[in-house]
Structure 1
């Protein structure tokens, strides 16, 4: 009898978690974009918009009347999503274009075609990314995490920067992560040449996203282009497909994890909310300014990373 009484809390734990989960989840998923700003006549690009946070972000921008480009590696999936968004929003200005961030030729081709097609660009959301990949390289020989998550978006933004400036006021939103706290920029091992950890490689690339945001802000002061980095929260998405352990954890704790729609809120907040210009260069989480690590505030590292990135991509440093 005593043994049964001791086991009773453990037996009741699943039931307690089931009942408490919705309340706990609400506490952990705060942050909703309440802006009612409409975007008729505005042009937006969302990378990785065929799934997850990118899809939800693109859908909301389309709902507000923007002309939205879904920049996707998988065009077929992108077309299905575009059809879905058009049906849900009634906005027929949802376009799919091929963009493979693991190939600089694809990035340059996307930018060239977009610039020939559009006169303006008001919102660029660098959303796509990879996470915990086994060691592999992009088409240009860059380690996959730093190549896609940082260098790919760095190049894309660079190629579209003049159009963003011509269309000012305009905004750039870079998706980062709380994981940046574990990140370090080791210039002697930027490509994982000397040692490699899939988990840490992701963290390093997310730190690079914030450093890029801060340096881009510094260079764009007074241009009318503002830039923000975002932690979307812990979101149920395809990003963890390379990690069996993470997939299991996501399944076990699914009650406490944000949906893609919830995860898109801070990106939307930074993309559309009025009066954020004075907060350009800042990092956001749950639709408010968030603290970043000391590494992410290192201006010297941010400037050097910019120069190294330009060198790797064959871009002029200034």
Structure 2
């Protein structure tokens, strides 16, 4: 049968933060963490969608310790404010889940390409600012959610923000490769902190609709909605690799977990990662670039 949410251990006494917890993979990740006893912070950009998610979650887990907090990963000022409010340790678990996919060219509040800025740089900054709280926990974990699109990603150190020749899927692949590189490099740098990655396979979430809506492509929007209905697994199933990486005693630092059936569907298993994701030199280069761009310098190991 494989690993399911019923295998999550008791999490009472643990504190967790999940970014993008208002829908999709993030919602189901936060829901199961709360169901198993963790105190969970829903870190959401949209106050309206966040309140809706909080209402649903508290109805499902009436005795849960669940709070809502504002976080816009596309604005480093918001990231810093969130970390200031929620950085008191110990923090047992950080799930870097929020993301955007295949958008028309946009930039963040700080001028970064939106996908690289949100999916990687925002989470890099958040993790660094919360690192003291994480390191004060007994056995902290950081799970960074990536995608199978990491396989089409190519390192772009000479033009990380796509100032030349923007391609929406190329930019998405680069951001998701950066998630993997970051997860492995974080695990290498800090003994006592488990950093790993997860991907949901093909799961039905709002992510597939955001890009076409922004581009005004009604046809692509309808096609993606049909594919979600006919082909994709549920968001609840898509959240299982993240939950495994976050809670399973056997989950390994530096590993990536995804659905076992060709990486698209099913219960969690260790996923094969692109070779360049694990190269220490790539990790060091991305780390230096990310510190320079965000202005967030991590504490010494």
Q: Taking structure 1 as reference, are residues 194 and 54 closer, same or farther at Cα in structure 2, changes over 3 Å only?
A: same
Please say if residues 102 and 144 of structure 1, whose CA atoms lie closer than 8 Å, have aligned partners that are also in contact.
yes
**Offset, 1:146:** 0.5
- Residues 192-203 of structure 1 mapped to structure 2, 5 A cutoff: 192-203=162-173
Give the count of matched residue pairs.
284
Quick check: 1:125–1:172 contact (8 Å CA) kept in 2?
yes
How far apart are the structure 1 equivalents of 2:3 and 2:103? 30
For residue 175 of structure 1, the aligned residue among 145, 156, 160 is 145
Q: How does 1:133-148 map to 2 (within 5 A)?
A: 133-148=103-118
Structure of higher CA gyration radius: 1
1:11 corresponding residue in structure 2: none
- Native 8 Å contact 1:65 1:91 kept in 2: no
Structure 1 residue 120: deviation in Å?
1.9
Find the partner of 1:242 among 207, 211, 214.
Answer: 211
Moved over 4 A (4+): none
User: So what's the TM-score if we normalise by structure 2?
Assistant: 0.90
- Partner of residue 196, structure 2: 228
Compute the TM-score of the two structures, normalised by the length of structure 1.
0.85
Q: Per-residue deviation at 1:254?
A: 2.5
Matches of 1:120 and 1:252 in 2, distance apart? Answer: 41
Closer, same or farther: CA 60–184 of 1 in aligned 2, 3 Å: same
The structure that is helix-richer by fraction is: 1
Retained in 1: the 8 A contact 2:96–2:144?
Answer: yes
TM-superposed CA distance for 1:95, in Å, is 0.3
Contact 1:183 1:205 in 2 (8 A): yes
Give structure 1 stretches of 5+ with no counterpart: 1-25
- Over residues 96-144 of structure 1, what are the superposed CA-to-partner deviations in whole Å (9 max), with x where a residue is unaligned? 00000000000000000112xx442111000000001111110000000
Which consecutive residues of structure 2, in runs of 5 or more, have no partner in the other structure?
260-267
Could you say what secondary structure the match of 1:85 adopts?
helix
Taking the TM superposition and a 5 Å limit, the aligned residue runs for 1:100-111 are 100-111=72-83
- Do 1:170 and 1:225's aligned partners in 2 also have CA atoms closer than 8 Å? yes
Matched residue, 1:81 = 53
RMSD of aligned alpha carbons: 1.7
